[in-house]
Amino acid sequence: MLPPDWVPGYTGATRFQPTGGTMATAEGRTIPFVGPEHIDVAVLETFGYEGPDQEIVTETSEFSAVCPYSGLPDFAKLTIAYTPGACCVELKSLKYYVTSYRNVGIFQEHATARIAEDLFRALAPKRLTVKTLYNIRGGFETTCSVTLPR
């Protein structure tokens, strides 16, 4: 065990506690981010589908957007399930679309709804569900889900 004087000025456990009732240095800081207008819907591509009804489920644990209050990232598992109409989404284009959220400041609920609305417009599926399961923040695990058409 190191002696108490190994760090100059060390006086015991109180050394690491805030003094004078001040907040941590990070309090009130934010990281710059961009607005939802930077979401790249134009990158989405589709290909024709003429097969029987089937449910297509695509998942990634790499979805992230930014908290519009702090600028800190919100990470989520994103699940997209749809029954195609006349077309399917091309997966590389979907990856670029999802990645375009990386620096966008948007509430979790709005991100989920926006993804559902954008995909519904691009695909015109018979049914579409977008679900996000966000990593725990502040003790809350948040799941958002949007199904279209309503």
The catalytic site residues sit at 67, 74
DSSP state string for the chain: ---GGGSTT--SGGGGS-STTPPPTTTT-----B-GGG--GGG--EEE--S----EEEEEEEEEEE-TTT--EEEEEEEEEEE-SSEEE-HHHHHHHHHTTTTBB--HHHHHHHHHHHHHHHH--SEEEEEEEEEEETTEEEEEEEEE--
Query: pLDDT tens digits for 92-109?
Result: 999 999 999 999 999 999
For residue 70, the model assigns a pLDDT of 83
Residue pair 116/131 in contact (Cβ under 8 Å)? The answer is no
Going from the N-terminus, what domains does the chain have, and what CATH number goes with each? 49-150 (3.30.1130.10)
pLDDT at 29: 79
pLDDT score, position 21: 54
Q: What's the pLDDT score for residue 20?
A: 53
What pLDDT is recorded for position 22?
Answer: 55
Q: How much is the pLDDT for 71?
A: 86
In the chain, which stretches have pLDDT less than 70?
1-25
Please state whether the peptide bond connecting residue 18 to the residue before it is cis, i.e. omega within 30 degrees of 0: no
| Per-residue pLDDT tens over the stretch 124-136 | 999 999 999 999 9
